[in-house]
A and B are shown apart, each in its own frame.
Chain A
Amino acid sequence: MIYKDKKPLFIFLTPALIVLFIFLYYPFFRNIANSFLDIKGLGALGGGKFVGLDNYVRMTSDKTIGISLKNTMFMMTLAVVVQVGIALILALMVDSIRRGAQFYRTVFFFPVVVSATAIGLMFNLFYAYNGGLFNQILEKLGKEPVLWLSDKLAIYMVSLPVIWQYVGFYFVIILTGLNGIPEEIYEYALIDGVTGFKKTWYISLPLIWDVIKVCITLAITGSLKVFDLPWVLAPNGAPKGLTHFLGTYMYFNTFISQSVGYGAAISVFIVVLGLFVSFTVNKLFKHETIVY
């Protein structure tokens, strides 16, 4: 009866909807429109010649797009397998201990709240050839220093901090899922003699499958958004564009080499790729949901 009168509804919803439509939905569709235009520089925004699918055709013959796509897919695989994998192991371990659980939770999540810029600068100090942390460790072990950001190693070294930083994020999500499993289920299992690794495999994992699926989807969309860390560690895809991701390459095209239409096409591609991969993964990992 309080909520029979629908008039206040407009006052509650309009401000949020105005902001969303003007600053999210309009730009999103405007950007799709831009991807069919040839816009020479940010000064020419609002104009531009209609070129149909030219920007998309250009993507098929662009070598750097190939590299960026490969790097992005590489990051995605690492995110799903290594990042969510480590997070799962850590969560299962923390769930099985009593003392110190709070401490580990606090420490593991901390990198997530630190800016990628700061983490990028930190890893710059680790990777430095002269006197960087990694080379000083090698020196202590009596080994030769390594050029960490060389052509061959750069992409791995750029991916490392990205993966490392967000393990804590998935760790916390999975841990909460584990905490939600009722104690009785484990007690029944104990009576049946199911303990240790078997308990994890046959009881915990199936029960938190939905949570893991959420993590996998978040990891996929997250790896498409990677920008700050690669940009700070290896600006402009250094060396030689080898560490470009789709996001950094979009930025490079739009704001540095000023082919705005082409940049728009790349960002549309990022959205489509994100939808496609999340959809496929959700289909692949389709699994009966267990209600408890």
Chain B
Amino acid sequence: MGKTASNFDRLVKQTRIKNILAKTFIYLFLSAWAMTTIYALFWVVNNSFKDKTVILSDSFSLAVNPIPDNYITAFNKMNIGRAYLNSFIISGCTVIFVMILAGLAAYAMTRYNFRLKNTLYMVFAGSILFPAFSTIVPIFKMVLDMKLVSNPLGVIIPQTASYLSFAIIVLMGFMSNLPLELEEAAFMEGCNVFNIFARIILPLSKPAFATVAIFTFCWSYNDLFVQMVILRKRDTYPICTLLNEISSQFGTDFGLMASAVTIVVFPVLIVYLFLQNNIVKGLTAGAIKG
């Protein structure tokens, strides 16, 4: 009797040790991967506060006496304020256009039954497969004909078109799960479809709209390809395009480069930390249903 009990105890103990070992390994592995992001960012931010000669000799030491020189040079050499403004105009308008157009279309696609519904769904889903490479030249020609080269609208409209389908599909996934009862009640009270859309569907779909907005914003803000093609004047450059150009000119000035990276990443980091839960939720809804 006693022997079996001690055997059992030993087994429990062994399993526990095994578990502790496994957990330790898991945490070590996860932390190691997390460090690739955390340390990389830390290294850049830390060095952005040092003199460039100090970075070259020892980039690991902590910037105990942080100097703002790199940031001063960055703001003097490039019109960063202007670039931020351009970025926010372009990405802000793209987000608004995408939300309006996609919201209306997704509502119609989830609530109405009509003959071409499946074909339309294919039209939306199919266009997600078009890479920007395969549409950019004709778009450039159209933008040229409309005299919108180096005009924010020349970027806003094509970007709206390319993020629209993703937005419609994410919103459709969300709206199709909204219960119909509220809409029926509102209809009984005398609301028409437009009222129902504005007063019921829009407020209820806020989380899905938030996801779409965040993704559209990040893609638009980070998209170098379309910006590079359409925007040809320096004072119309958004942040990414400006940085790309700066790096080819001052790539050897480490201090300046480190501060430039910090300047681009900072707003994204803030937005991310505030809204990360929406990002993750919405992404998965869209990716798996899409």
Contact = CB atoms under 8 A, between A and B. Distances in A.
A31 B47 CA distance: 45
A227 interface: yes
Interface residues of A, number: 98
A81 interface: no
Nearest to A227: B225
B187 A1 contact: yes
Contact of B105 (A13, A211, A267): A13
Contacts of B203: none
Interface string B245-266: 0011001001001101100110
A111 to B, nearest CB: 6
A24 B130 contact: yes
B271 to A, nearest CB: 8
B160 A19 contact: yes
A130 B52 CA distance: 12
Interface stretch (A51-59, A60-68, A101-109): A101-109
B261 A270 contact: no
B78 interface: no
Contacts of B268: 113-115
A162 to B, nearest CB: 14
Contacts of A1: 184, 187
Interface in A199-218: 211, 214, 218
B27 A231 contact: no
Contact of B283 (A8, A172, A228, A235): A172
A16 B261 CA distance: 36
Nearest to A10: B108
Contacts of A167: 33
B204 interface: no
B51 to A, nearest CB: 12
B224 to A, nearest CB: 4
Given A117-B264, A124-B247, A16 B280 contact: no
Interface in A84-125: 86, 89-90, 93-94, 96-97, 100, 103-111, 113-118, 120-122, 124-125
B120 to A, nearest CB: 7
B134 A115 contact: no
B210 interface: no
A232 B142 CA distance: 27
Contacts of A227: 132-133, 224-225
Interface stretch (B2-10, B54-62, B65-73): B54-62
B33 A9 contact: no
B127 A231 contact: no
A254 B133 CA distance: 10
A2 interface: yes
Interface in B128-145: 129-142, 144
B64 interface: no
B131 A270 contact: yes
B74 interface: no
A15 B55 CA distance: 53
B108 A12 contact: yes
A196 B247 CA distance: 49
B240 interface: yes
A173 B287 contact: yes
Contacts of B29: 89-90, 93
A250 B137 CA distance: 11
Given A97-B26, A113-B272, A214-B287, A122 B105 contact: no
Q: Which of B23, B102, B104 has the most CB of A within 10 A?
A: B104
Contacts of A11: 104
Contacts of A232: 224, 244, 247
B279 A109 contact: yes
A268 B134 contact: yes
Contacts of A25: 123, 127
Given A125-B254, A131-B55, A224 B131 contact: yes
A136 B134 contact: no
B224 A228 contact: yes
A271 B27 contact: no
A61 B261 CA distance: 40
Given A13-B108, A16-B101, A131 B272 contact: no
A115 B196 contact: no
Contacts of A145: none
B165 interface: yes
Nearest to A210: B288
Contacts of A46: 141
21 contacts: A19-B160, A19-B164, A23-B162, A45-B137, A96-B26, A103-B34, A106-B273, A115-B268, A117-B244, A118-B240, A121-B261, A125-B47, A125-B254, A169-B283, A196-B22, A227-B225, A228-B222, A267-B137, A270-B131, A270-B133, A274-B131
Given A8-B193, A23-B162, A251-B133, 17 more contacts: A2-B184, A12-B104, A17-B105, A24-B130, A45-B140, A90-B30, A107-B37, A110-B37, A117-B243, A121-B261, A122-B40, A131-B59, A211-B288, A227-B225, A247-B133, A254-B137, A270-B134
